[in-house]
Structure 1
Amino acid sequence: MMRVLVEWQDVTFTYKHADSPSVDQFNLTIAAGDFVLITGSTGCGKSTLLKMLNGLIPEESGGALTGTVLVDGQDTRNLTVSQLSRTVGMVFQSPDDQIFSTTVYDETAFILENMGMPAADINLRVDEALALVGMLNKREASVHALSGGQKQRLAVASVLAARPRILALDEPISQLDPQGATELLAVLEKVNREFGITIILVEHRLHEVMPLCNRVVVMDGGHLLWEGTREAAFGCPELFADHGLRVPQPVDICRRLGIVASSAGIEEAVCAIRQRYHVQSVAETACSLVVAGQGAKPAIEVQKLSFWYERSGKPVLDNIDLFIPRGQFVALMGNNGAGKSTLLQQVGGLLTPQQGQVRVLGQPLAAVRRQVGMVLQNPDLMLFNSTVAEEVAFAACQQHRHSGLTPYCRELLLKMGLTGREEEFPLALSRGQRLRLALAAVLSCRPAVLLLDEPTTGQDIGHIEDIIILLKDYVAQGGTVVFCTHDTEVAACHADRVIVLCQGRLSADGPPAVIFSQEDMLRQAGLKPPAALLVAQSLYGGVAMGVEEVVQYVRQGCLGSNAG
């Protein structure tokens, strides 16, 4: 029997000024060598739970903690954050919260220097850690030149360098492209298997993490709702669906067809479906590229746009030409560092083209700047008011010279799941809630063009659907949305159009069904097709962008058959 390494005993924690506890009567044990996934809806207490492991709660966070948190048999109250950090390596939800050095090397070496390690050993450890996360080629780079995903990898490397016995990670793949997420999860699997490091991972992207972990813990409202093995989790997908959690698409397809999936694999799902249903193949149909917006009024025009942060370096954007008409819902995709956020900031006016030009609504950007709303990848950079209500009302009050929440502001709070939190301090919300608050604040003044950088980061599927419904309603009323995302499932199911950047150049542009059928292009861009498409291709030779399409095809094809 494995030795218990972490234990929460009747733990309750209530933040200062909060009306209810974030973690409530929580009990859980984690054995040495475990790979544990902790999941649950946004704001359920997952991040709070992790902060107890390295002493940030209660030592650095205002609030009341009752019960006992044990790490390697020791009560965390009796240890300092510094002492605990040698056993527990923590990777925060936002890499900007823990990166403070100027170069990649310095950031990775910092903890080793504080441990008093000789310089030669530090160099070896730094190179080993950076190589593990695919960042060795950025060893001398400035941290300010890194993309959000690259910063996330750096944060993991800087913790791994110290070789902690426990690695606690708060949504570490939330800002990574699919290829980068796969690579980082492979790193976690390797250090767990080969070095025996215990992994405790908080994540919403269950479809990517569940195949790797050996235990799953589900939280709800600060309570332990369910825990069990990965295999047991695959056997009760209804539990996850009922609590707004996204299971792997093959598992969800099987669930909707009344089949219990044994794993998240494509072929396993296809085999299970064929055993239950007689599925007829369809003749392959070529997806035609529809050139969107010909003759339509322009929302965004980008002409011969190039930009670089360092004149001597490689262009971040290289000769980009782009036309987006009004009323489109556009996904901007590509691997970390492809230039997506930079392009968004050019259109939003945060950066100025060094070559080429950007026009919005048919005019130079400077003339219509107030018509462009933008939500940054890190919502904390946008929140500066004392209460949620003040934050949502601020822009509308400035534009229309009135005070207080308008009916539309209250509607936004309701749709973003923030009703009842009007008097709370914005930065005390969970990251997912802070992002939804920033979106509501930008939408409050009804911009004509809305730019979103990773709007689904840190969101459970219920809140993702709420955001999508709100944005589609906005587009139906004539607005235009361009959103950067690594979430292929969201882009495939909901975008009118997918634009792919690769190394600063426009790599592909078209409807989701066209884009996600181009395997070579996706591979080069660090993307993956949605699993539902792979199931459809293998099961009946068809094209499907989402779970519902596959389920409907199977059911319609089996009407009148003797399928159970």
Structure 2
Amino acid sequence: MSNIIELNDVSFSYAPGAPRALSHVTLDIPTGSFTGIIGPSGAGKSTLANVLCGAIPHHFTGELFGATYVDGQDTCEITLTDIARIIGHVNQDIDAQMVASVVEDELLFGLENFGVPHQHIEKFITAALDAVGIADLRDREIATLSGGQKQKVAIAAILALAPRVLVMDEPTAALDPVSSRMVFEVLRDLNRDEGITVVVIEQKVALLSEFCDRIVVMDGGRTVLSGTPHEVFGHAEELREIGVDSPRTARISNSLAAAGLCPAEPPALSVDEAAGLVEGILREQGTRIAGSVRTAEAPAPAAPTTPAPRPHAAGAEPVLTFRGVSFAYPGGGASVNNLELTVYPGELVGVIGQNGAGKTTATKLVNGLLKPASGTVTVAGLDTRTAPVSRIARHVATLFQNPDRQLCKNTVLDEVAFGLELAGIDRAEARRRAERVIERFGLPAEESPFSLSRGQRQMVALASVVVVEPDIVVLDEPTSGLDYRECMTVMETVREMAEHGCAVIMVCHDMEVVSDFAERLAVMADGCILGAGATRDIFADAALMERARVAPPQVTALAERLTREASPAFAHASEVADVVRTVKELVNRA
């Protein structure tokens, strides 16, 4: 197979004397391949994407060494337009990539600039919109779309140009699980049926392991691992040291291998593979499963380790209430209808649902940026319809989807201290508190926030929220763009806030994170709350998950299947440890 892109010993730094964002990278992208690129924040993944698509050297200046060839041509010797006819690029910052105000015009822009004949434009637009499932958004104002919907528009605009290569930098970061899978299915179809070469930078390792034929791992500007998904995710300990997660099913198989119950390689990368592995272990040990004639007493279902909803302190007043709340945007958008929700101090409540369900609109009603058209929102005793936003802000802190929308200072220290100073805290005391939080997050205090990676900027924005110690913190996709290590740092910090009495409202599309940390869930669809309850009960409600178009976490799906096909002992297992412990108990009793 020939290579459509070749990097030969490529190094790059954004300024003379600056640390190298890429260091001696040699990488081939075979024609027709589907390559996933993973690595911690700051590993050089986005810089690599810029090299692949020609933005380096034609857009970003710096010191470049080595050579990059696209379809056999040195990118230093051809124009960016020439490269763009071969490679389509969707970058991390979707808003920066948008050039039009209406969805249809966004797709038209590229087609007209590439000189596509007018008689063919309609066909290209229709096919691209259908490919990502947003035909109904064709006439919508882009400003009224959710973050996930904008992501789909950006992908459609690139697909309309029919490139030979797609380079996508975290294309599903703002998408719900079902939409994320749909995007990957679209990419797979384009790769398989149209022969388009796909390169995807992504943190969602379960999707990469399922759809990619090759995984490249980066760290410190270098490529440190490369191979098939089974080969790469077989290096679980090495990946964790780097700061890269593995699919939960791989964690299960690696844990079972460490216990001597199965071979060490290859790891299970899907629910099907993990179920087959567990059932095989149980059969080999003589444990009764569906269709088996040998029996063993099944232990009681494992006690779930996911936090159960904590009882409210005696006489505690709710810190947030929604009572019959409705709101609609004048120009259309994700309206909400008759919302009912009560949150108490110290609760960590997850809000889940597909893109456009109204989750972000609900969070804006919490912090007073939007006022309900009907019903009441009460925050720490304040009616948000009458209380000024400045007063509500003393009780509610918000982390937005895009951290760049709330960063405004020249250094990380100034940024984190800014909220405290606005609240009237003495400058010296504000900086002292900020330094403590910055140290906890491992951030560079004197660097500009805007010089940091997307994940690090998210950490800075969260630090500026944590430091003010609010009564309520609203997190809109707090783990978007974060690597595994950063994600755990963020979520452990959030859990500590809840343990100290802060109510946490977390909108999140990462169902693994939701399963691990949220005590209670509210499920939204079409602007309504379809159901609310304990996390493990909500995820176990298959009918509710289907109505909301939410895919449950891998462990929940695996536990449900094993409960049905192997043993009731797997009922309610919600963590990797639950599944592994249950297998061990069943084997020991065989």
The answer to whether the superposition gives a TM-score over 0.5 is yes
Match of 1:149 in 2: 148
**In terms of mean alpha carbon deviation, does 133-142 or 13-22 score higher?**
13-22
Indicate the SS of the match to 1:343. helix
Per the alignment, do residues 290 and 494 of structure 1 end up closer, same or farther by CA in structure 2, a change over 3 Å counting? closer
Q: Whole-Å Cα distance in 2 between the matches of residues 372 and 191 of structure 1? A: 44
Indicate the SS of the match to 1:134. coil
The residue identity in structure 2 corresponding to 1:534 is A
Task: Specify which of 369, 374, 377 is matched with residue 401 of structure 2.
Answer: 377
Match of 2:366 in 1: 347
Task: Specify which of 439, 442, 448 is matched with residue 417 of structure 1.
Answer: 442
TM-score with structure 1 length normalisation? Answer: 0.94
Q: Whole-Å Cα distance in 2 between the matches of residues 71 and 275 of structure 1? A: 46
Task: Specify which of 424, 431, 451 is matched with residue 406 of structure 1.
Answer: 431
The 5-angstrom pairing of residues 128-139 of structure 1 reads 128-139=127-138
Match of 1:249 in 2: 248
1:308 and 2:328 correspond: yes
Q: Whole-Å Cα distance in 2 between the matches of residues 290 and 15 of structure 1? A: 48
The residue identity in structure 2 corresponding to 1:308 is A
Q: Whole-Å Cα distance in 1 between the matches of residues 333 and 61 of structure 2? A: 45
The residue identity in structure 1 corresponding to 2:149 is Q
Q: Whole-Å Cα distance in 1 between the matches of residues 495 and 90 of structure 2? A: 34
Match of 1:393 in 2: 417
Contact 1:301 1:362 in 2 (8 A): no
The C-alpha deviation readout for 1:306-352, integer Å capped at 9, x for no partner, is 111127x5771011111111110111100000000110011012222
The 5-angstrom pairing of residues 502-541 of structure 1 reads 502-539=525-562, 540-541=567-568
The C-alpha deviation readout for 1:1-54, integer Å capped at 9, x for no partner, is x11111111111112387421111111111110100010111111011001122
Match of 1:272 in 2: 277
Per the alignment, do residues 463 and 281 of structure 1 end up closer, same or farther by CA in structure 2, a change over 3 Å counting? farther
The 5-angstrom pairing of residues 431-450 of structure 1 reads 431-450=454-473
Give 1:241 deviation, angstroms: 2.8
Match of 2:294 in 1: none
Q: Whole-Å Cα distance in 2 between the matches of residues 512 and 424 of structure 1? A: 39
The residue identity in structure 1 corresponding to 2:459 is R
Contact 1:211 1:263 in 2 (8 A): no
The residue identity in structure 2 corresponding to 1:188 is L
Match of 1:122 in 2: 121
Contact 1:261 1:269 in 2 (8 A): no
Match of 1:160 in 2: 159
Q: Whole-Å Cα distance in 2 between the matches of residues 405 and 19 of structure 1? A: 31
Contact 1:512 1:545 in 2 (8 A): no
Contact 1:38 1:216 in 2 (8 A): yes
1:543 and 2:553 correspond: no
Contact 2:298 2:586 in 1 (8 A): no
Give 1:356 deviation, angstroms: 1.8
The 5-angstrom pairing of residues 149-188 of structure 1 reads 149-188=148-187
Per the alignment, do residues 286 and 546 of structure 1 end up closer, same or farther by CA in structure 2, a change over 3 Å counting? closer
Contact 1:12 1:23 in 2 (8 A): yes
Q: Whole-Å Cα distance in 1 between the matches of residues 526 and 275 of structure 2? A: 35
Match of 2:231 in 1: 232
Give 1:295 deviation, angstroms: 4.7
Per the alignment, do residues 389 and 560 of structure 1 end up closer, same or farther by CA in structure 2, a change over 3 Å counting? same
Give 1:404 deviation, angstroms: 7.7
Q: Whole-Å Cα distance in 2 between the matches of residues 225 and 424 of structure 1? A: 27
Q: Whole-Å Cα distance in 2 between the matches of residues 111 and 60 of structure 1? A: 18
Q: Whole-Å Cα distance in 2 between the matches of residues 65 and 213 of structure 1? A: 29
Match of 2:380 in 1: 361
The 5-angstrom pairing of residues 67-146 of structure 1 reads 67-146=66-145
The C-alpha deviation readout for 1:99-143, integer Å capped at 9, x for no partner, is 121111111121001112222311110000000000111111111
Task: Specify which of 496, 515, 532 is matched with residue 492 of structure 1.
Answer: 515
Q: Whole-Å Cα distance in 1 between the matches of residues 582 and 300 of structure 2? A: 14
Contact 1:390 1:404 in 2 (8 A): no
The C-alpha deviation readout for 1:478-508, integer Å capped at 9, x for no partner, is 1111110011111111111111111000111
Match of 2:350 in 1: 331
Match of 2:290 in 1: none
Contact 1:306 1:315 in 2 (8 A): no
Percent identity reads: 34
Structure 1 regions of 5+ residues with no counterpart? none
**In terms of mean alpha carbon deviation, does 529-538 or 215-224 score higher?**
529-538
Match of 1:196 in 2: 195
The residue identity in structure 2 corresponding to 1:100 is V
The residue identity in structure 2 corresponding to 1:517 is A
Q: Whole-Å Cα distance in 2 between the matches of residues 523 and 417 of structure 1? A: 40
Indicate the SS of the match to 1:90. strand
Q: Whole-Å Cα distance in 2 between the matches of residues 105 and 553 of structure 1? A: 53
The residue identity in structure 2 corresponding to 1:490 is V
Indicate the SS of the match to 1:406. helix
The residue identity in structure 2 corresponding to 1:545 is S
Q: Whole-Å Cα distance in 1 between the matches of residues 120 and 157 of structure 2? A: 15
Contact 2:253 2:267 in 1 (8 A): no
The residue identity in structure 1 corresponding to 2:278 is I
Task: Specify which of 484, 508, 515 is matched with residue 461 of structure 1.
Answer: 484
**In terms of mean alpha carbon deviation, does 72-81 or 42-51 score higher?**
72-81
Per the alignment, do residues 102 and 83 of structure 1 end up closer, same or farther by CA in structure 2, a change over 3 Å counting? same
The residue identity in structure 2 corresponding to 1:441 is S
The residue identity in structure 2 corresponding to 1:269 is A
Q: Whole-Å Cα distance in 1 between the matches of residues 575 and 344 of structure 2? A: 25
